[in-house]
Structure 1
Amino acid sequence: MKKITRKKHLEMRLQSIPSHPNPKVGLEQYSTPSVIASDLVWNAFALGDIENKNVIDLGCGTGVFAIASALMGANSSIGIDIDEESINLAEDIKDKLKIDNLKFIVGDICDFDEPLNADTVFQNPPFGSQKNAQSGADLKFIQKAIDLECDVLYSFHMASTEEFLMKYYGDNNLEITHIFRYSFPIPRIYDFHTKEKQNVNVIVIRANLK
């Protein structure tokens, strides 16, 4: 597999990853656009969090962060998601790209207890862009990352919750080192959506856990 040396090339590879095949409103499933995923993973690579590291993508959907990490030289990359349909698509992409250092697991991260070796965790959990979204779902993902005893966490959240999150991370002894800001496009995929697309301001917090 040819080594990726430019962010644009990574973005082009990630464009081939399909969205959730059957988006489930209860899981607040929105696929991370390739332009956002490539930017974040490229920055993580520059910070030394990808190459030769063991990476886990919690709530991976169709596997964009797990696949991107594998393409950028992770020692191992694992994607975990409760949605079997999405995992099946991720497996198809893995086979097409012939990626060896990549594995996908169907499972609920809240009760997942299989021992995993994680240096870096990525997660784009349900972050509350819907009025009826499950409150605090993103915090459960943070706790799972803590349980995995990873070194570094990259986690998506609503930008409007930044002040609360700064305190939450601090209370859990997580050192915030970087905050990445994105305009996240939410397409019209659910019945209650009234616009073709709505942009939501999100942040991705990079935190040291050790």
Structure 2
Amino acid sequence: MKLKQLESLLGDLEQFSNPKVELEQYPTGPHIAARMLYTAENSFGDVTDKLVADFGCGCGTLGAAAALLGAEQVIAIDIDSQSLEIASVNAEDLELDINFIQCDIRNLEWRGQTVDTVVMNPPFGTRKKGADMDFLCVALKVASGAVYSLHKTSTRDHVKKAALRDFNASSAEVLCEVSEDGFAWS
């Protein structure tokens, strides 16, 4: 699938009508979601025929992108039942087979299959300090391959150091930086 086609399909997804501030809900725009998953697949081979988990899936944009790019299985996890309802409708509209789980990521007990790739746009930790690190810690525990995560530029160095030092990541790199002028790829 071409990048523009992926972005177009993601642009039609239903989004939050009343995002919950306490959960730091904000939509992952189709532009960034398409590029994130397209890069994960086309530069690193981390989507097609892989088991992909979308942590804090919200409206399901990243999970939908993974499914559209040929993930073998997509598991979308969110604490909020209303988010999961929206994500489920979005998956149905695109005729995608995505498994949805309502769970607090911090309480996730993963059994069975290993996740190849985790994708996420976690809370940035502005409402609940450390929420972004909770997501990253769990993602790095369950992913056998890669973790793709969106974070604020101001926390980039902290996130990289924590991933390497505290969460035993084998590497941590910035693939893209988003600014008002657009994307700057590393």
TM-score (norm: length of structure 1):
0.79
Q: State the Cα distance separating 1:22 from its structure 2 match.
A: 2.6
Q: SS at the partner of 2:115? A: coil
Aligned to 2:159: 165
Identity %: 36
Q: Is 1:88 aligned to 2:85, yes or no?
A: yes
The residue aligned with 2:60 is 63
Instruction: Report the count of equivalent residues.
Output: 180
Within 5 Å, which residues of 2 pair with 1:148-163? 148-163=142-157
Counterpart CA distance in 1 for 2:64 and 2:136 is 21
Q: Which runs of 5+ in 1 are unaligned?
A: 184-198, 205-210
Could you say which residue in structure 1 is the equivalent of 2:30? 34
Cα distance in 2 between the residues matched to 1:169 and 1:13: 32
Tell me whether 1:144 sits opposite 2:138 in the alignment: yes
Choose 54-63 or 155-164, whichever is displaced more. 155-164
Task: Report what 2:123 is aligned to.
Answer: 126
| Whole-Å separation in 1 of the counterparts to 2:80 and 2:184 | 24
Larger % of strand: which?
A: 1
RMSD value, Cα = 2.1
Residue of 106, 109, 114 corresponding to 2:105: 109
Instruction: Flag as ranges the 4+ runs of structure 1 deviating above 2 A.
Output: 114-117, 201-204
Displacement after TM superposition at 1:98 (Å) = 1.4
Structure with greater proportional helix content: 2
Alpha-carbon distance in structure 1 between the residues aligned to 2:151 and 2:141: 19
CA contact (8 A) 1:18 1:62 kept: yes
Distance 2:63 2:78 in 1: 11
Q: Which residue is 1:10 aligned to? A: 6
- Asked if 2 retains the 8 angstrom alpha-carbon contact of 1:159 and 1:202, the reply is no
Question: Equivalents in 1 of 2:92, 2:68: separation in Å?
Answer: 13
The verdict on how the C-alpha distance between 1:124 and 1:52 changes in structure 2, with shifts beyond 3 A counting, is same
Deviation string, structure 1 residues 45-91 (Cα, Å, up to 9, x no partner): 11100011100000000100111100000010111001111111111
Structure 2 stretches lacking a partner, 5+ long? none
1:67–1:94 Cα contact (<8 Å) kept = yes
Partner Cα distance (2:174, 2:152) in 1? 15
Question: CA 1:60/1:138 → structure 2, altered by over 3 Å: closer, same or farther?
Answer: same
Partners of 2:137 and 2:163 within 8 A in 1 = no
Any conservation in 2 of the 1:121–1:150 contact (CA below 8 Å)? no
Summarize deviations over 1:101-132 as a string: whole Å, max 9, x none.
x211111111122425310001111114x4xx
Output the amino acid matched with 2:79.
I
Higher alpha-carbon Rg: 1
